[in-house]
Amino acid sequence: MIRRGLDWSGGVLLRLPNWLGDVVALEPLVRQLRAQAPEPARLTLVVPAPLLALVAPSAPGARLLAAGREPRAWSGHGTAILLTGSWRSAWMALAARIPRRVGYARDGRRWLLTDGFEPAREGGGRALGGGPPPAPWAPRFAPRPLLVSALELCAALGLVFEDGAPKLARDSGAEARAGARLERAGFAGRPFALLNVGGRPGSAKALPTGEWVEVARRLAAAGLAVAAAAGPGEEDTLAAFARGAPDALALAAPLADLPEFTALARRCAVVLTTDSGPRHLAAAVGAPLVVLFGPTDPRHTRVGRGAQVELREQMPCGPCHMERCPLPAARERACLTSIGAARIAEAALGLLSSSPHPHPHSP
């Protein structure tokens, strides 16, 4: 049970999730909670260090803490609202002696919380991937976007928020870097597709590089310029893509950071990506999207705004939400590879043909 009302006198610590896409999805809640704080410094946001600059514009004046510090960094707050599902975040709040600890009462951490919120569960139907229905005494948690469950938790506290779209502030430096890079590549003024070809090494959510190369070739054959991005630790993947698609603009040396990727998404004609953090950045700035779903259930992350095509193939083993694909090498990541480069390229070209403006986003 959750007691209604929020006491700001001791300060409120909001622990955000670790993943880029989740942090972007929760931006409306962060922005509105900051607006309700009687003083900006009464709100503290805890997020992984690489994402601090992303959340700062949504909560001007709020305190920012990098995740992973010792519990004493959290001490002195009266309330902790934990929007993570981890046992560690609840333990951190307890170890910091925060008197009121609000969060999701699941995964063995109920006893660490003073106010536990029970997420909604399904009524017993079959999962998206098929298989037997859940046992009546242990129904699955309902698959829904994180912002929905976070708003429900806050509603149980008596807080009222709007389910708004994320708003990302423009970064003038990133806009300039994006423009200069496009100018050097001869892309300035040309419609182009932005491909997010990265992924953690071995991740079941990453489309094999050869598939991205074939997508790029098909888009280029249709007359569309192609740029490709990847994140830190994914340099080898981007280099392999560049070797296979030498006419594409590989955003390397340096890699496009999150602000520059966002600036490029504002300018491009369409973004193609797996279900990953960059997908949420692109959606937040209104870029047309083609999103590939492999091991993940689209109901967990659906944004429902803007021009978007979701591509997935029904597999007997999915959606499994596993980080590593357990299938043998010949069938590894079949949930993604079975979508096919032709279908992916056709979806992107179809989005462009249905838009009255082939290059809808400008700096």
Return the DSSP state at 127. B
Q: What is the pLDDT along the chain (363 residues), one digit of tens a residue?
A: 788 999 999 999 999 999 999 999 999 999 999 999 999 999 999 999 999 999 999 999 999 999 988 999 999 999 999 999 899 999 999 999 999 999 999 878 899 999 999 877 666 555 555 555 556 656 566 777 888 889 889 989 998 887 678 999 899 999 999 999 999 999 988 999 999 999 887 888 899 999 999 999 999 999 999 999 999 999 999 999 999 999 999 999 999 999 999 999 999 999 999 999 999 999 999 999 999 998 888 877 776 566 889 999 888 887 887 888 888 887 888 899 999 999 999 999 999 988 654 444 444
pLDDT on residue 362: 47
pLDDT on residue 127: 55
Q: How many CB atoms lie within 10 A of CB 156?
A: 17
172-184 vs 258-267: helix crossing angle, rounded to 10: 60
pLDDT on residue 139: 59
Cis bond before residue 133 (omega within 30° of 0): no
Residues 6+ positions from 197 with CB-CB distance below 8 Å? 207, 209, 212, 228, 229, 230, 237, 238, 241
* pTM (two decimals): 0.87
Return the DSSP state at 156. H
CA–CA–CA angle 75, 53, 303 (5° rounding): 100
Q: Label residue 124 left, alpha or beta by phi (over 0 means left) and psi (-120 to 50 means alpha).
A: left
Tokens representing 55?
């959340």
Residue 43's DSSP bridge partners are 12
CA–CA–CA angle 142, 148, 149 (5° rounding): 60
pLDDT on residue 243: 97
Return the DSSP state at 130. B
Q: How many CB atoms lie within 10 A of CB 212?
A: 30
Task: Determine the Cα–Cα distance for residues 101 and 115; give it in Å rounded to an integer.
Answer: 6
In 36-114, beta strands by DSSP E: 43-47, 63-66, 79-82, 100-104
Q: 235 and 203 in contact (C-beta within 8 Å)?
A: no
pLDDT on residue 349: 97
- For each of the domains in the chain, give its residue range(s) and CATH number, in order of start: 12-156 (3.40.50.2000), 172-354 (3.40.50.2000)
Q: How many residues are there in the chain?
A: 363
